[in-house]
Chains A and B, each alone.
Chain A
């Protein structure tokens, strides 16, 4: 029995999980049209490599990764590419984003694919490549490309692998039902992860005690594998990465650090299944388990859903009653976000579609004044003071917000959940974080501008000074000349000099230009060197960006600008090289 630690705060909202596990994981008919967003993950959007009208097979790559922190996209079923355009996607801002639409041919024909069974004898690098090629990103939360996460580098050896099966949000049972039905494959996936990470000596599956069936299902498969199933009391938000690390190890992830920095990797349990399918079966990530629940749907259960399935398709097959509820949430009732429309597709991170009735989740009451009762502080899992953050967010007092560690807020919503005055606290924190990030970027820009301006001023001043000195010298020379009437010799010299110096200058300029016009071979070699250096720089920059994104660092914007910049320079050099070779 593993020891567990208790996190501060937390809440116990009604679990509402039983409704969706009365039946096993179901299968829906293939939708007529599927919409695959090019950005379903953290990092750069994939680049389409198909054309409208092209026929594709299930599992065929339809978009290629753009850089290190990116993943490819695969056709979730066979059919024809019917559009590549902007569509509404599952994003809290309700924005449009580039998507590929596939019109299904209903045959669901797989592309030729082949897995490997003896992954123990394959190098971790090769396994990582397979994970990357299968388009796997974290399926629990933010959707970070798994291959990047599983490659922390030699300087950060991993001794603890944590599999997150907490599923602490109410209503969601996607992981629960996947474990019940696919425990063997999940454990196989964990073994593959272990091989990739050079066998960390501590492998734990963290799971809440409200999933006894799943715990029981895992037991026979982990026996003798060294993988321990660690059960702890149900409390929201135990499934947050930082919280789970503390619950299982008693260690806190230092602020601004990644789990890999303290020798840990955290992977969602749904992702382990996808990794097993990718390695053993050679199947890319084209479907996932999604819970459809809430009293506004007649049938509440889990479905093995193709990525790209429109939410409307799921709702239509779940007897959704439009009159019963006003909002449809992607994710759970604590951190999920409302969908702008039912045309939004299921993506790799969609664990739940929640269509609550008005009785379950009534419309929000107007907020009352904060009386600083402190219930939010009691509920905060990060030991923040939400009431003070709210106060300073209203006052836009950025210094105080940072001193109160605003950026350690994980936006779990526990504070808003308990707030007796119905204040949308998390909303204030998100807005304040955005403002502060914006202010930082502005400051960086302003600093640059100031530096440039100061340099410019200095340069002008220097030029002025030099001119002044020259003028002074000329004046002095003129005075001297007046004082001593010029001899004939000096006169001829002064006449000859300007003409000869002008000729000299032209000759020198021609020589310099000639030098610049080096032989094509030299130029090519030079460009190749430039390209190699730029590629190296781009790689480093991308890695830094990946780290920043994973740790949700505030340097993201600056780093992504740097990556973009380097990439452009690289492109320029490559174009030049191509011109030269042409």
Chain B
């Protein structure tokens, strides 16, 4: 009798990369539903269009690289990138915005660097930033949330949405509107309290901006699902949210007319929760150790606030994440955990004597 030769361990957990990716996809569902509820069909169309484009791009490149298309598509990583990009794009953006972003994410930011596991930057955020810099008008035109639609106006229906996206129809007046972060950026003459009183985006809201607070709560829920399934540890997200909250408390300026806004507004507006739980948790481009991820998250939190408060862009998650991606290998060098039997942590750059 001759037996098969295999190295230990022989037992394996049932976890697989495809399952991890699928769970991430499921966890985006609450956010996608709330986006659709608050802003109409646009986000759903974005997600589907981005997914189709991304899968086609991935298949073409994998084929060109002479690898098994079925094997590499079955890890669902292209779908995750596409869904995350689709969720971050403005609803009802023209179709070519979505396509250009997806093509750039998959081909340039991911496959040209070697495919899954080798990309130094978050592919979805690379796609997003390329679009934001290249097409600022389309990228900053947001749909107004449900509560702010003028009387008698509704979000376009599904067919109408498709016409807007694919045929370039213009939406009805009043369907587009500013985001809470835009409002704060352009309200330099008003105290924080006055902004909350006068701006419908805030006086129609519970604590952080009509519609947006729901979107953020939904992504928080999705993030907690992933956290409880141990897809990632708390270090990155909590690092970012804590740093963002701390920065907005320190620089609140007691609600003066130059205040960048309250901590609650910052935590529950824009892409804060989405970024904390779905973007910076991309393990490939983040720091590796728990301590490293805490620092990495905190760096993103600080950068998000700096760009929001004093930069040119109302939101900043994409830029902050890309800058932190640059810093990740550096953070890794200095955040090795203390190994059993050693009194001190070591540095990755340490050299053996002799």
Contacts and interface: CB of A to CB of B under 8 A. Distances in A.
Contacts of A384: 337, 339
A417 B288 contact: no
Contacts of A405: 339, 342, 346
Contact of B337 (A246, A363, A385): A385
Contacts of A399: 351-352
B284 to A, nearest CB: 5
A13 B11 contact: yes
A342 B352 contact: no
A368 interface: yes
B17 A170 contact: no
Contact of B8 (A334, A340, A356, A365): A334
For B9, B118, B233, B343, which residue has the most chain A Cβ atoms within 10 angstroms?
B9
B352 A338 contact: no
Interface in B267-325: 283-284, 286, 288-290, 293
B4 A403 contact: no
Question: Which size class do B's interface residues fall under?
Answer: 35 or more
B332 interface: yes
B186 interface: no
B70 to A, nearest CB: 12
B159 interface: no
A378 B337 CA distance: 11
A383 B336 CA distance: 9
For B1, B231, B232, B293, which residue has the most chain A Cβ atoms within 10 angstroms?
B1
A413 interface: yes
A404 B8 contact: no
Contacts of B199: none
Interface string B86-128: 0000000000000000000000000000011110000000000
B134 to A, nearest CB: 29
Given A370-B117, A375-B230, A417 B337 contact: no
Contact of B13 (A11, A370, A383): A11
A340 B7 contact: no
Interface in A314-360: 315, 322, 326-329, 331, 333-342, 354, 356
Contact of B342 (A255, A342, A374): A255
Given A254-B341, A372-B284, A404-B336, A327 B10 contact: yes
Interface in A503-559: none
Chain B binding surface SS class: loop
Interface in B20-50: 20
Given A334-B9, A403-B346, A242 B117 contact: no
A9 B288 CA distance: 16
Contacts of A422: 12, 16
A200 interface: no
A336 B115 contact: no
B20 A420 contact: yes
B207 to A, nearest CB: 33
Contacts of A254: 341-343
Contact of A327 (B6, B12, B15, B352): B6
B346 A336 contact: no
B336 A340 contact: no
A419 B71 CA distance: 17
Interface in A294-316: 312, 315
Given A252-B341, A337-B7, A413-B9, A373 B2 contact: no
Contacts of B75: 368
Interface string A419-461: 1111010110010000000000000000000000000000000
A340 B117 contact: no
B336 A336 contact: no
B13 A13 contact: yes
A280 interface: no
Contact of B284 (A329, A371, A375): A371
A372 B117 contact: yes
A407 to B, nearest CB: 10
B20 A378 contact: no
Nearest to B115: A369
B347 interface: yes
A549 B348 CA distance: 28
Given A334-B9, A375-B15, A403-B347, A242 B340 contact: yes
Interface in A200-228: none
B11 A312 contact: no
A361 interface: yes
A371 B17 contact: yes
B4 A371 contact: no
B19 interface: yes
B117 A408 contact: no
Given A372-B117, A385-B337, A400-B348, A336 B283 contact: no
Contacts of B2: 340-341
A381 interface: yes
Contacts of B342: 254-255, 405, 408
A373 B283 contact: yes
Contacts of B173: none
A4 B116 CA distance: 42
A255 B339 contact: yes
Contacts of A414: 9
A388 B10 contact: no
B228 interface: no
Given A337-B7, A404-B348, 8 more contacts: A257-B341, A327-B6, A329-B10, A331-B8, A368-B116, A377-B290, A400-B348, A418-B13
15 contacts: A11-B13, A13-B13, A94-B5, A334-B9, A334-B11, A372-B288, A373-B232, A374-B232, A399-B351, A405-B346, A411-B8, A417-B13, A419-B12, A420-B17, A421-B16
Interface of B: 1-13, 15-17, 19-20, 71, 75, 77, 115-118, 230-233, 283-284, 286, 288-290, 293, 332, 336-343, 346-352
Interface of A: 8, 11, 13-14, 92, 94, 170, 242, 246, 252-257, 312, 315, 322, 326-329, 331, 333-342, 354, 356, 361, 363-366, 368-375, 377-378, 381-385, 387-388, 399-400, 402-405, 408, 411, 413-414, 416-422, 424, 426-427, 430
